[in-house]
């Protein structure tokens, strides 16, 4: 798992970006957020996640709040 920080997240659009400890942006989908209850992340929230590679680039999967 990789540690990161939510750069921004738009709940209406269902996506945002997480910035890794080495300052790389990773795309994040709302559906990749794990855990029970309302799934919302605020700017600056610390998270752990896996990175999945696709033809369109890297995206965060298996996202958990720290």
Structural domains of the chain sorted by starting position, each given as residue range(s) with its CATH number in brackets: 2-65 (2.40.50.140)
pLDDT tens for 5-50 read 999 999 899 899 999 999 999 999 887 777 765 567 889 999 999 9
Q: Going by C-beta distance under 8 Å and a sequence separation of 6 or more, which residues neighbour residue 64? A: 1, 34, 35, 47, 48, 49
> CA 61 to CA 2: how far, in whole Å?
10
| Residue 38: per-residue pLDDT | 54
Q: Where are the alpha helices (DSSP H) in the chain?
A: none
- Say what the pTM is: 0.84
| Residue 34: per-residue pLDDT | 76
User: 14 and 31 in contact (C-beta within 8 Å)?
Assistant: yes
| Residue 41: per-residue pLDDT | 81
Bridge partner residues of 33 (DSSP): 63
> CA 66 to CA 64: how far, in whole Å?
6
């Amino acid at each position: 798992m990789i540690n990161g920080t939510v750069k921004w997240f738009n709940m209406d659009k269902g996506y945002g970006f997480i910035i890794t400890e080495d300052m790389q942006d990773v795309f994040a989908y709302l559906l990749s957020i794990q855990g029970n209850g309302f799934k919302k992340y605020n700017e600056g929230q610390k998270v752990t996640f896996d990175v999945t590679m696709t033809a369109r680039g890297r995206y965060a999967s298996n996202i958990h709040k720290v």
